[in-house]
Structure 1
Amino acid sequence: MSLKFKLLLLITISISALFSYAETTHRKILLAEYVPIRDTSPPEIQAIAKFAVCEHNNEAKKSITYLKIVKGEKQVVAGINYRLIIEAKDGNQMLQHYEAIVYVKAGTDSKKLVSFGLIEE
């Protein structure tokens, strides 16, 4: 085998291995698990919870009032999914817990309410 051929073969194998590693790493990021948010008091987390309640009210023609975040988790994808358990008052002033999932696009302030539902206790 010539030196050029060996060099070309080595480069091809290296590039192939690099792409294989990148695909595996990318898959792990996309399939990441939710991890707890230890402190839900920062304004950006509070804003996400309030956004979820506001969007739900607009979409469902409801009027629930945000009180606090009971629990929070996040998942890194091509941005961040926030799964929040929110305490709120419904129209009858009853305390209820809701699960909201909000997607925040990476590098932007763009938010999307993915789901919002009452937690039956």
Structure 2
Amino acid sequence: MKLTNNPLMFTTFSLMLLLFIDSTLGATLTGGYHEIKDINDPSIKLIAEFAVYEFNQQKKTNLVLKEIKKGYYQIVAGTNYRLFISAVDKHDDHKSINDYVTVVYEGLPSQNPVLKLVSFDRLLKTKN
């Protein structure tokens, strides 16, 4: 008997596979945000640069990425990346560096466009 011809067997097998994957990977499969271990990874830098570029296009600004301070990822139907970055306005002679938090959604390969800017917000500076 083929597995795909029997819906009950297919469902049971699928659930067992998901339970195995979940027990193997733990909480990193889906759900909350998890820290990105290597924020210097070129793919993370590309996502941060995409966020700045898209924000500039949408808001008609001239920000330039200076640093990725930390980042988190969340597995959904794709991946959300929450990055804490610093950027400067290139028309301000790079005088004032501001901090931002941005979320970029990376869709599954079958989705188009693959990257989408979800949010881009300036963080307020606090006095010590």
- TM-score exceeds 0.5: yes
Aligned to 2:75: 76
Identity between Structure 1 and Structure 2 (%): 35
> For 1:71 and 1:41, how far apart are their aligned partners in 2?
10
Which 4+ residue blocks in structure 1 deviate beyond 2 angstroms?
Answer: 28-31, 90-93
The gaps in structure 2 that reach 5 residues or longer are 1-5, 20-26
Aligned pairs for 1:1-121 within 5 A: 18=12, 32-90=31-89, 91-92=91-92, 93-107=95-109, 110-121=114-125
| Number of aligned residue pairs | 107
Deviations 1:75-101 (CA, angstroms, capped at 9, x unpaired)? 000000000001111343311111010
Aligned to 1:6: none
Change over 3 Å in CA distance of 1:29–1:43 after alignment to 2: closer
Rg larger in 1 or in 2?
1
**Cα shift at 1:42:** 1.2
The gaps in structure 1 that reach 5 residues or longer are 1-10
**Cα shift at 1:106:** 1.8
> For 2:39 and 2:30, how far apart are their aligned partners in 1?
23
Give the TM-score taking structure 1 as reference length: 0.74
**Superposition CA RMSD, Å:** 3.0
